[in-house]
Amino acid sequence: MEFQQNLGFHSAEEELTGVVDHIIFSAGDGAFSVFRLRLVQQGKCTATVRGAAPLVGQEVHLAGSWVTHPRFGRQFQAQHMRVSAPTSAAGIERFLASGTIDGVGPAMARRIVERFGAEALQIIERAPSRLREVAGIGPKTVEKIVASYMRQSELRDIMLWLEEHGVTGAYAARIFKAYGSLAIEVMEKFPYRLAQEIDGIGFITADAIAVAAGWEKNSTERIAAGLSYELTQISSGGHCCIPESMLADRAAQRLGVARTEVMEIISREVKMSRLYAVDEMGERLIYAPQLYKAEEMTARLLLMLQKKADHIHVHDAESLVAAWEADHAVSLASAQREAVIAALTHGVLVLTGGPGTGKTTVVRSMIDILGAQGLEILLAAPTGRAAKRLAEATGCPAATVHRMLEAQGREDGEMRFGRDAETQLEADVIIIDEVSMMDIVLMQHLLTAVPPGTHVILVGDVDQLPAVGPGSVLKDILRSQVIPSVRLMEIFRQNNTGTIVLNAHAINAGRVPSFTEADFTFVPAVSSEDAAAQVVSLCTRLLRAGTGLMDLQVLSPMRREACGVDLLNRSLQNALNPAGMGKEEAAGFRLGDKIMQTRNDYMKNVFNGDIGRITRIDSEHMVVTFAEDMEVSYTRDEFGALTLAYAMSVHKSQGSEYDIVILPLVRAHHIMLQRNLLYTAVTRAKKKVVLLGSKAAVFTAVSNDRTRRRYTLLAERLAGAGGESPLLS
């Protein structure tokens, strides 16, 4: 039992020792893996472990228990795993033949082991020149083998260090990639750097490493890192800042330290400008530096652009609008006409309105009239789908905001754009659609790239969900009453049979929608599980009837629960793109899967929310085809940036339109049942909406117009600096 104790295993657990034969599945985020194990006692078995997969050929020691999976049968569920270099000649050969070591394939692995036996790895490590005794190995191959083996050795050392300190070795590869031979020194002396510098390692993991390395829980560095983490968590909830008292309470609870100690560090960080504090409305609000800068600059630049816009020389704006109406046989409503005239007279203009209120018609007339004055116009939207819709609706080229700003990647992952304060955009007028989706950081980057004198027109539906990122930019600009704005209220886009637009406005007004057999239907479900099953069945029928996969979208208010995004995606994948028939798959993805990019990648020019399909895949690589036939390649360590997209959250659907939208609404979603969420989901559909679940849940969503407060001060900054400017309409 000495071996067991040394490994930290519990006596009640069963132990297995063997060599990794091949990897069956490894989650892109390193959270879970399944592999085949060649046992020392002969035979093979399937093993699962929470953590990254070991390397093929490595010797592993597992502790856990046998379980029977309802689909995959008997397998060993490991609670603990220790990895070491193989010791037997056979194990060493499998290790060398696995492709882990550069320059060594199966044939060469066999020759190396035939010559050196169980001492082969020692020879590589301590007497590498002897490798030339093996046929086919020259000086350059020796160098390649040794360099690759040493990298693996260092990686193994990091893994062992982590596991010896009670931290899963799943992060070893990422840490080694970032710091190389300095990795252990960084973990011991600067552990909180990991949370800032390594993708996928957050504060909780870095903190576990720090504690393992002997750091005191009330150390200044730990509390400062904890505060930074809390502010990151807060921003992921849409906030730009947070009251100091709330921040102190959250950090003290998470860190297990006294609140007074946290308050001291907050004061210190503010004095050193590593945090920012603003006193507003009786509260002291704390900002991370990036969001403080973004909010302050956005307010300042909006006011500057409004003040310094070049005058558009037109003799009679009303006559120009009237002439456009006559040429296009269109009669604009008074608010629409007012918006077009305002575009000719104001440096910054906000145009808002719900579906069917004629925003697109107004934008088309603005483009025609402004273009006729010889003005250069740029069109953009936050997502690829929204940009495509804008281009189709106006007949003019449109790009994503990121592409318009020439987003560029950097190895440190920081956001960088080719268009900025030094190299600004070249345009007289810039029109941005779906502005409700823009967070405060992206808005700051956009406005920074707009030269003084350029007119900016911001278009969006303020009643939709706010951006996924921090801030409520569109709502705050309107709330400030400083920037001229027009709100369209009259509904135009309707006919005798279509009810989607009418129902969207009914929901927005707090009324339960009317259900029809044609384009707005309700399907009852007795439970969350029943709702999930019906979603799968309905999608299957629709695809068989000829609906395109990209034209059909399941939306869900939540990620968890039986009909949440995560489980629905797995169920839909198995139903719509089942395994088998020689179909390649890796890390839970299959050839033909509908997938979504989940974070901005400036190197690849793909962004959070982009949708595509997997067109090539193997265990280590994947090719995804996005809109406009753009092919993007991913290596295995990049798979974590992708997720299945048969179902997605309502937030993620913003800016997109689909022929058919299916939305399960059940009592289990009660936390997220809000009017603006239902309204946003319904407005994504062009031809048909299917609500599925409980009518009580529909009623709850319609009735709940209490939107969660976001801590932002953009409106206050605008109003404080700019004075009041009433709404135009």
| Residue 563 banded pLDDT, cuts 50, 70, 90 | confident
**pLDDT grade, residue 5 (50/70/90)?**
very low
Collapsed DSSP state (helix, strand, coil) of residue 70? coil
pLDDT at residue 74 is higher than 90: no
Q: Which two tokens stand for residue 304?
A: 């500057």
Least confident segment among 29-43, 463-477, 479-493 = 29-43
Are the beta carbons of 565 and 648 closer than 8 angstroms? yes
- Predicted confidence (pLDDT) at residue 126 exceeds the cutoff of 60: yes
Amino acid identity of residue 420, one-letter, is D
pLDDT at residue 407, as a whole number: 84
100: confidence class by pLDDT, cuts 50, 70, 90: low
pLDDT of residue 40: 67
- SS3 per residue for 473-526: HHHHHHHHCCCCEEEECCCCCCCCCCCHHHHHHHHHCCCCCCCCCCCEEEEECC
Q: Which two tokens stand for residue 330?
A: 């269109």
pLDDT at residue number 653: 85
Q: CA-based diameter of the chain, in Å?
A: 94
Average pLDDT over residues 213-240: 89
Cross-sheet strand order for the sheet of 594-597: 630-635, 621-626, 611-617, 594-597, 642-644
Residue 350, token pair as written in the block: 């906000």
Highest mean pLDDT among 44-58, 313-327, 433-447, 489-503: 433-447
Q: What percentage of residues in the chain have a pLDDT greater than 90?
A: 37
pLDDT at 721: 64
User: For residue 30, what pLDDT is reported?
Assistant: 58
CB atoms within 10 A of CB 485: 25
> Rounded to 5 degrees, what angle do the CA atoms 361, 367, 373 make?
140
pLDDT at 729: 42
Would the pLDDT of 141 be above 70?
Answer: yes
Cβ neighbours for 160, distance < 8 A, ≥ 6 positions apart: 83, 169
% of the chain beyond a pLDDT of 70: 90
Residues 6 or more apart from 693 whose CB is under 8 A from it? 523, 524, 525, 528, 531, 563, 664, 665, 666
Output the pLDDT for position 473.
95
For position 29, what pLDDT does the model report? 54
pLDDT computed for residue 654 by the predictor: 80
Rounded Cα distance, 81 and 168, in Å:
9
**What integer pLDDT is reported at residue 409 of this predicted model?**
62
Question: What pLDDT does 608 receive?
Answer: 77
Highest-pLDDT range among 142-146, 355-359, 362-366, 656-660: 362-366
Q: Kindly tell me if the per-residue pLDDT of 41 is higher than 70.
A: no
DSSP conformation letters of 389-437: HHHHHHSS--EEHHHHTTEE--TT---EESSSSSS----SEEEE--GGG
> Under a CB-based contact definition with an 8 Å cutoff, are residues 166 and 208 in contact?
yes
- 161 against 361, higher pLDDT: 361
Structure confidence by residue, pLDDT tens digits, 445-459:
999 999 999 999 999
Q: How confident is the model at residue 723 (pLDDT cuts 50, 70, 90)?
A: very low
SS (H, E, C) 296-356: HHHHHHHHHHHHHCCCCCCCCHHHHHHHHHHHHCCCCCHHHHHHHHHHHHCCEEEEEECCC
For the purposes of burial, counting CB atoms within 10 Å of the CB of 287, is it exposed (0-12), middle (13-18) or buried (19 or more)?
A: buried
Cβ-contact 415, 441 below 8 angstroms? yes
Enclosing H/E stretch for 110: helix 106-116
Q: Please give the structure tokens belonging to residue 496.
A: 């005798």
pLDDT of residue 227: 93
Task: Output the pLDDT for position 4.
Answer: 31
Asked if residue 184 has pLDDT above 50, the reply is yes
Beta strands 455-460; 429-432: pairing state? parallel
Question: To the nearest whole number, what is the mean pLDDT of the chain?
Answer: 85
Rounded mean pLDDT of 654-677? 84
Whether the per-residue pLDDT at 414 is higher than 90: the answer is no
Average pLDDT over residues 455-466: 91
- For the cut 80, the answer to whether the pLDDT of residue 178 exceeds it is no
Name the strand (E) or helix (H) holding 456: strand 455-460
Task: List CB contacts of 703: < 8 A, sequence separation 6 or more.
Answer: 510, 675
User: Does 724 have pLDDT greater than 60?
Assistant: no
pLDDT, greater one: 257 or 466: 257
pLDDT of 361 reads: 92
Comparing C-alpha atoms, which of 473, 661, 708 is closest to residue 552?
661
Average pLDDT over residues 682-710: 87
Structure tokens at 579: 């395994």
Of 159-168, 386-395, 403-412, 651-660, which gets the smallest average pLDDT?
Answer: 159-168
Q: How many residues does the chain have?
A: 729
Task: Determine the pLDDT at residue 179.
Answer: 80
Neighbouring CB atoms inside 10 A of 317's CB total 17
497-517 average pLDDT score? 85
How does residue 705 score in pLDDT terms, banded at 50, 70 and 90?
Answer: confident
Phi, psi of 384 (to 5 degrees): -60, -45
Confidence at residue 99, expressed as pLDDT on a 0 to 100 scale:
64
Residue 27: what pLDDT?
A: 65
Q: Are 289 and 277 in contact (CB under 8 A)?
A: no
Q: How confident is the model over 681-696, as a mean pLDDT?
A: 90
Range of lowest pLDDT (30-44, 474-488, 503-517)? 30-44
pLDDT 10s digits, 576-592: 998 877 778 877 898 98
